Amino acid sequence: MMKRSLLNLLLVAALMVAALPSVLALAQEGATVTALVDESAREVVDAWIAAYSEQNPDAVFDVTYAPADVLLDDLSAAQLVITRDMPEDLPIEFECGQIGPIRMLLPDLAGRYLSSVDCDGPLTGPAASAAAFLEWVTGPDGQQVAIDLGLLPGEVTVTDQAGETVTVPQPVRRVVSAYGVSTYFVYPVGGEDRLVAATYLGIRGDEAVEAMTRIDPRFPEVANAVSTLGQGESNLEEIAAVQPDLLLASRDSEWLSAAGELGIPVLRFEGETPESLKEAVRLVGAVLGPDEAYRAEQFAEFYDEVLGSIQAQMADIENPKTVYFSGTQPLRVASGGMYQTAMVELAGGVSVSKDVPGAGWQDVNLEQVYNWNPEVIFVPTYGRATTEAFTDDPQWAPVQAVANGNVIQLPSLTGPLDTPAPDSIIGIIWMANQLYPGELDLDCEALAAEFYARFYDYDLTAEEASSLCS
Amino acid sequence: MIRTLGQRMAVRLPFSVQQRQLVFYWLVLLAPLPLAIYAIGLGRYEIAPGEVIDALVRMVVDPPDAAAAPDIVYNVVTRIRLPRITASLLIGANLAVTGVAFQGIFRNPLVDSNILGVTSGAGFGAALMLLISAGAGMVQLSAFGFGLLAVFLAYTVSRLYYSAPLLVLTLVGILIGSFFGSLTSVLKYIADPLDSLPAITYWLMGSLADVTMSDIPLLLIISVVGMAFMWAVRWRLNVLSLGDHEAQALGLNPTRLKLMIILFSTLMTSVAVSVGGVIGWVGLVIPHAARTLVGPDHQRLIPATMALGASFLLVIDTLARTLWSTEVPLGVFTGLVGVPLLLAILRINKTGWK
């Protein structure tokens, strides 16, 4: 009896060992993606899967088409859901799993991946394949399939921030950004993979370069693709050589009239207000595709939610703090037309220089500063600006901010946080917390982590979050 | 009958030209003092006249301990306004008197001390340091050094040519100035538009907003020595403006004298520019204004130009620091005031260049 059962056991073990390689092989192939698809989208999804499988022969899809009303009834086996009305909260809960963000495959068709096994960490198996598929569908190749079926327009016409009507043929595969701020409009909408050459505002020093490379591993390649690229001057022939479908530029760039001769659509931006920042991100989203347009709205919502929260809480603050936002020298101040001044006001401060005319930094004298007597001085992270320039100078000692130790330099992860780029919202959150420490319900680290996760696809380390918020 | 303004003035005033010029001479000479006293009471930070006087008296009689609690009124008067007023007087006098000296030795009413490239050189020196974000001390030192270098280059290069030394010197000076101007353009082109570019642009338009007590000693020493020199050679300038042959006939060594005047003028302009940035027009307009008021004789013209230049820049700088909450670059103001002034002078000028 004993012998027999032992023999059985050995037999079972031998069978298992023999079966192992085939099980492993199955896992390596990426496994079959179980997909639930709204039957009204059958044609386009079939076309996507066919085109995707041609490029990725390993991908295997097991698609169940169902009417929309019963589609979401049982999600337990699915790794991919594609439907017209994607609810924010899917009717399923995992003990330990992930539900991906909503991706807009068409203006009226959304998809998201599900994983019941990957707790945090990277996706594995069929869920990873599902995520890669969604990424491909929202990318230029997937857009091309939808354009061929007449579901996406062959060209998109927008009015840019210089008031020009610009027609951009779809899909946009290669983007060049010749304006240090507009490059950052591409990231929140998820279009960074399409950047082929770009200039990045204010990324100076090894730490900033390393941080930006962590956020986007392609950063060094993209930043160096064209030798001269910027607001003031760009090498047009080198731009032409990287064959862009779209050029993002500053409204103030004078070389753009020559760029128009290349026949590349140009979007011009000007940003010194929160509204123009949101509009700029929406513009980039609109010309890149439905998913990008959706993400631009998400960004605008996040931005407005944070500002609304600060504004609501400011109702309880009796004496708003007066703020002097200094430039690269102590006696240089942000004028009323500058984004820095708007940021101070949005963060619940009162800018002492909000009535100073002009659109750039303005020089003032110490007597004027004594008159203003600001309670807080903010110092930017560029140039030779330091807090010591204020604290070590006896002439500044009588100013409230200096006397009370409220001269504070902005934090920085990559570029400066006081430019009209999307991450300026972190700058505003930081400012509000510096102005009213402990008085606001505004968790800087959590919001910064959420911002980078949602709009830069990047998980901030605890260290980065705390340095951004200190 | 159409009469010029000068003729009408002459009709109205019952004095001879000489008497009138003597009156103007003393008025101009005495003007800086009351103007300075008035200016020290003006500023964005309001202080009653009594408190201003009190602060000035305390500074002389009983200076408060530096470690003591800061007293804003005292600081504003003695550490902000006083250095700035002092600097504007000295720089205005420097730029104006070097202008009149250069007009004398070059025998040309269109030149000022920048004709040999000192300002362009100093501008490049300052821009270089601003580009690499060096401290204020380095900016001043570099401006001063490159100002001297530009003139040294102009002078030595011009010695390589043998014809018409004055003409060659003028020409080479203009060329060297243009060369440094181009270098500055290169620096502006590569400068960071967020940081160093506005700093360079602002510096090139001139400002006394950053002047502190520590800037005063060198400026004061060079200005006093330079002005004393100009005072000492004022009658020789009369001779020089007759031409080299006449000067030699009268026992002067015109080449050595011109070199000395260029040397002192360059030092004075360099130190002025290193403290205040590029402040245009003073060296050109003020000598003409002074000549109109007191006549072309350098005996009076030199002191009058110093005093008038000092008063002019003091008034301009006081406007720049009090009119608006932001500083207006001095170069802008001197141009806006200087050009109409020069046009008016050309209209009424009876005794200057013909």
Please give the backbone phi and psi of residue A61, each rounded to the nearest 5 degrees, phi first. Answer: -115, 135
Does the CB of B79 have a partner CB in chain A at under 8 Å? yes
Does the CB of A398 have a partner CB in chain B at under 8 Å? yes
- The answer to whether the bond into A101 is cis (omega within 30° of 0) is no
Task: Tell me whether residues B198 and A361 touch, CB distance under 8 A.
Answer: yes
- The overall average pLDDT reported for chain A is 87
Residues of A in contact with B194 (CB under 8 A): 201-202, 328, 382-383, 416
> HSE on the CB side for B16, CA within 13 Å?
2
Residues of B in contact with A384 (CB under 8 A): 133, 135, 195
Q: Scanning the structure block, which residue is given the tokens 């002439």? A: A395
Over residues B24-42, the pLDDT tens digits come to: 899 989 999 999 999 988 8
Does the CB of B186 have a partner CB in chain A at under 8 Å? no
Q: How far apart are CA A293 and CA A283, in angstroms?
A: 8
Domain A155-291 listed as CATH 3.60.20.10: no
Asked if A231 contacts A247 with a C-beta cutoff of 8 angstroms, the reply is: no
What average pLDDT score do residues A356-370 get? 86
Residues of A in contact with B190 (CB under 8 A): none
| CB-based contacts of A253, cutoff 8 Å, min separation 6 | A178, A179, A231, A232, A234, A268
**A76 — pLDDT class (breaks 50, 70, 90):** confident
Q: How far apart are CA B332 and CA A371, in angstroms?
A: 25
Q: Is pTM, for the whole model, over 0.90?
A: no
The predicted structure's pLDDT at residue A169: 93
What average pLDDT score do residues A34-42 get? 89
Please give the backbone phi and psi of residue A112, each rounded to the nearest 5 degrees, phi first. Answer: -155, 155
In DSSP notation, A453-464 reads HHHS-----HHH
How near does any CA of chain B get to the CA of A396, in Å?
10
The predicted structure's pLDDT at residue A139: 93
Percentage of chain B lying above the pLDDT 70 cut = 92
The predicted structure's pLDDT at residue B259: 87
Q: Which of A333, A363, A371 sits opposite B202 (nearest CB)?
A: A363
Does the CB of B194 have a partner CB in chain A at under 8 Å? yes
Looking at the predicted structure, is the pLDDT value of residue B10 above 60? Answer: no
**B192 — pLDDT class (breaks 50, 70, 90):** confident
Query: How many beta-carbon pairs under 8 angstroms link A with B?
Result: 87
Over residues A121-155, the pLDDT tens digits come to: 788 888 888 999 999 999 999 999 999 999 999 99
Percentage of chain B lying above the pLDDT 90 cut = 30
Looking at the predicted structure, is the pLDDT value of residue B66 above 70? Answer: no
| Alpha-carbon distances of A188 from A182, A184, A459, B242, rounded to whole Å | 11, 7, 14, 75
The predicted structure's pLDDT at residue B12: 55
Task: Tell me whether residues A364 and B326 touch, CB distance under 8 A.
Answer: yes
Asked if A268 contacts A255 with a C-beta cutoff of 8 angstroms, the reply is: no
Tell which residue, A138, A168, A191, A154, has the closest CA to residue A268. A168
Looking at the predicted structure, is the pLDDT value of residue A10 above 70? Answer: no
Does the CB of A404 have a partner CB in chain B at under 8 Å? no
Residue type, A238: E
What average pLDDT score do residues B242-255 get? 82
What are the boundaries of each domain within chain A?
Answer: 1-25, 31-148, 155-291, 317-469
A38, containing H or E segment: strand A32-38
The residue of chain A with its CA nearest to that of B209 is A365
Residue B175 or residue B242, greater confidence: B175
How near does any CA of chain A get to the CA of B195, in Å?
5
Three-state SS letters, A310-348: HHHHHCCCCCCCEEEEECCCCCEEECCCCHHHHHHHHCC
Asked if A325 contacts A378 with a C-beta cutoff of 8 angstroms, the reply is: yes
Residues of B in contact with A382 (CB under 8 A): 192, 194-195
Q: How far apart are CA A125 and CA B210, in angstroms?
A: 65
Looking at the predicted structure, is the pLDDT value of residue B70 above 90? Answer: no
- Best of B139, B192, B325 to mutate (most A CBs within 10 Å, chain A): B325
How many degrees, rounded to 5, is the angle at CA A420 between CA A418 and CA A422? 95
| CB-based contacts of B271, cutoff 8 Å, min separation 6 | B94, B144, B218, B219, B222, B223
User: Which CATH code of 3.30.1300.10, 3.40.50.300, 1.10.3470.10, 3.30.460.90 fits the domain covering B32-348?
Assistant: 1.10.3470.10
> HSE on the CB side for B102, CA within 13 Å?
31
Surface-to-core class of residue B227, CB atoms within 10 Å of its CB (0-12 exposed, 13-18 middle, 19+ buried): buried
The residue of chain A with its CA nearest to that of B129 is A384
What are the boundaries of each domain within chain B?
Answer: 32-348
The residues in B 319-338 lying below 8 A from A, measured between CB atoms, are: 321, 325-327, 329
Over residues B215-247, the pLDDT tens digits come to: 899 999 999 999 999 999 988 888 887 877 888
CATH fold for domain A31-148: D-Maltodextrin-Binding Protein; domain 2 (3.40.190)
Residues of A in contact with B51 (CB under 8 A): none
What average pLDDT score do residues A277-288 get? 95
What average pLDDT score do residues B123-138 get? 86
Please give the backbone phi and psi of residue B133, each rounded to the nearest 5 degrees, phi first. Answer: 55, 40
Asked if A300 contacts A275 with a C-beta cutoff of 8 angstroms, the reply is: no
What average pLDDT score do residues A401-428 get? 91
Region of poorest pLDDT, from A50-59, A255-264, B296-305? A255-264
The predicted structure's pLDDT at residue A16: 54
Q: How far apart are CA B318 and CA A267, in angstroms?
A: 46
**Same fold for the domain at A31-148 and the one at A155-291?**
no
Q: How far apart are CA A224 and CA A262, in angstroms?
A: 21
The predicted structure's pLDDT at residue A26: 45
What average pLDDT score do residues A34-54 get? 91
Please give the backbone phi and psi of residue A175, each rounded to the nearest 5 degrees, phi first. Answer: -115, 135
Does the CB of A94 have a partner CB in chain B at under 8 Å? no
Percentage of chain A lying above the pLDDT 90 cut = 51
The predicted structure's pLDDT at residue A19: 53
- Best of B40, B42, B45 to mutate (most A CBs within 10 Å, chain A): B45
Q: Scanning the structure block, which residue is given the tokens 């490379």? A: A213
| CB-based contacts of B240, cutoff 8 Å, min separation 6 | B104, B105, B247, B252, B254, B257, B258
Does the CB of B318 have a partner CB in chain A at under 8 Å? no
The predicted structure's pLDDT at residue A316: 84
Task: Tell me A192's DSSP state.
Answer: G
Q: How far apart are CA A432 and CA A308, in angstroms?
A: 12
This complex has an ipTM of 0.72
Q: Which of A371, A382, A394 sits opposite B70 (nearest CB)?
A: A394
Q: How far apart are CA B2 and CA A121, in angstroms?
A: 95
Residue A450 or residue A12, greater confidence: A450
Task: Tell me B65's DSSP state.
Answer: P
Q: According to CATH, what is the number of the domain A317-469?
A: 3.40.50.1980
Looking at the predicted structure, is the pLDDT value of residue B354 above 50? Answer: no
What average pLDDT score do residues A113-118 get? 84
Looking at the predicted structure, is the pLDDT value of residue A23 above 50? Answer: no
φ/ψ bin of A205: left (φ > 0), alpha (ψ from -120 to 50), beta (otherwise): left
SS3 label, residue B236: helix
Task: Tell me B77's DSSP state.
Answer: I
The predicted structure's pLDDT at residue A226: 85
The predicted structure's pLDDT at residue B1: 45
Bridge partners (DSSP) of residue A168 are A156
Task: Tell me whether residues B194 and A383 touch, CB distance under 8 A.
Answer: yes
Region of poorest pLDDT, from A21-30, A94-103, B60-69? A21-30
Residue A8 or residue A169, greater confidence: A169
Task: Tell me whether residues B76 and A357 touch, CB distance under 8 A.
Answer: no
Q: Which of B72, B192, B199 sits opposite A370 (nearest CB)?
A: B72
**B90 — pLDDT class (breaks 50, 70, 90):** very high
Does the CB of A383 have a partner CB in chain B at under 8 Å? yes
Does the CB of B63 have a partner CB in chain A at under 8 Å? no
The dihedral over CA atoms of A301, A304, A310, A311, expressed in degrees to the nearest 10, equals: -140
Looking at the predicted structure, is the pLDDT value of residue A27 above 80? Answer: no
